[in-house]
Amino acid sequence: MRQRPIGTATRGTTNPNRLRRMDRWIAAVHGPALRRAASPLAVDLGYGAAPWTAVELLERLRTVEPRTSVAGVEIDPARVAAAKPYERDGLTFLHGGFEIPLPERPQLIRAANVLRQYDEDEVAEVWRRLCARLAPGGLLVEGTCDEIGRRHVWVALGPEGPRTVTFATRLGSLERPSDLAERLPKALIHRNVPGEPVHAFLRDFDRAWASAAPYASLGARQRWIAAVRALRADWPTTDGVRRWRQGEITVPWSALRPGGD
């Protein structure tokens, strides 16, 4: 007898291109691991009421590794049934949850806007469960974005646990970096208070952004790059100008890990 899927259904909100920033980062950072895999498999966990994010994930990952396949996993069986007509070579849809009901271990699990409805103290166990399903060298990307994909924050985890936190935004819509606070993933959103590292990071980023105001005449991208360069005096980053130009900054999880955790 098959076990009951683990987790609860999300609201199901989804829009085409909503996860483009996350997908672009995954393709750039995790592409080499997909190419090394014998049978590269990615999971779009909790894709929602429409299958667009899974369809787009397949298309974007196949630009870096054409052998990639994608499995969309949803806990709501009605959503799985609605997605079935979109199946094609390399794209399947399955009923399931955090147990990831696949015989093989995926190289990638993407869980976008899935944990927002959970309590903060439930996150660590979900992370542990999902990371345990990864193939060697695999990656879990868990985070949140707004409805049209202008602002994202996500955590990247390996089988050993959390590695990095990435902030990504459409620079033309940004007033200040702390605008991204409303999209912090569940593990961090309640920690955006004085005394916590993520609060200090966003405070310092706002200050660097204000100091970089003269670069605004050259465009928001140049202002962002200048602000990130200044921020690096006090905060470590794991990326460089190529990613900053995309409106991103990635920092080690250890720098933002909630105090005492």
Tell me the pairing of strands 151-158 and 161-169.
antiparallel
Q: What percent of the chain has pLDDT over 70?
A: 98
Q: Which of 145, 169, 193 is the last residue of a domain?
A: 169
pLDDT of residue 1: 41
Q: What is the pTM of this model?
A: 0.95
Band of residue 12 on the pLDDT scale cut at 50, 70, 90: low
Residue 261 lies in a domain: no
Q: Which of 142, 169, 196 is the last residue of a domain?
A: 169
Helices (H), the chain: 20-36, 52-62, 77-83, 123-132, 186-189, 197-211, 220-231, 241-244, 253-256
pLDDT digits (tens, 9 = 90+) for 92-104: 999 999 999 999 9
Question: Do 176 and 58 belong to one domain?
Answer: no
Question: Do 154 and 49 belong to one domain?
Answer: yes
Question: Do 153 and 57 belong to one domain?
Answer: yes
3-state secondary structure 8-22: CCCCCCCCCCCCHHH
Question: Do 30 and 134 belong to one domain?
Answer: yes
Question: Do 134 and 198 belong to one domain?
Answer: no
Work out the average pLDDT over 116-124. Answer: 94
Residue 88 lies in a domain: yes
pLDDT of residue 104: 96
Band of residue 259 on the pLDDT scale cut at 50, 70, 90: confident
Question: Do 67 and 175 belong to one domain?
Answer: no
Residue 5 lies in a domain: no
pLDDT of residue 4: 84
pLDDT of residue 2: 55
Contact 93, 63 (CB under 8 A): no
Query: Strands of 139-145's sheet, edge to edge?
Result: 91-95, 69-74, 41-45, 108-112, 139-145, 151-158, 161-169, 248-252
Residue 202 lies in a domain: yes
pLDDT of residue 100: 97
Band of residue 254 on the pLDDT scale cut at 50, 70, 90: very high
Question: Do 134 and 57 belong to one domain?
Answer: yes
Question: Do 131 and 178 belong to one domain?
Answer: no
Question: What's the structural domain count of the chain?
Answer: 2
As a whole number of angstroms, the distance between CA 223 and CA 211 comes to 9
- Token pair, residue 102, equals 């696949």
Domain range holding 183? 171-247
Nearest one of 9, 99, 85, 8 to 54, comparing CA atoms = 85
Question: Do 39 and 118 belong to one domain?
Answer: yes
Question: Do 122 and 237 belong to one domain?
Answer: no
Residue 4 lies in a domain: no
Mean pLDDT estimate for the chain: 95
Residue 259 lies in a domain: no
pLDDT of residue 160: 92
Q: Which of 128, 146, 169 is the last residue of a domain?
A: 169
Question: Do 27 and 96 belong to one domain?
Answer: yes
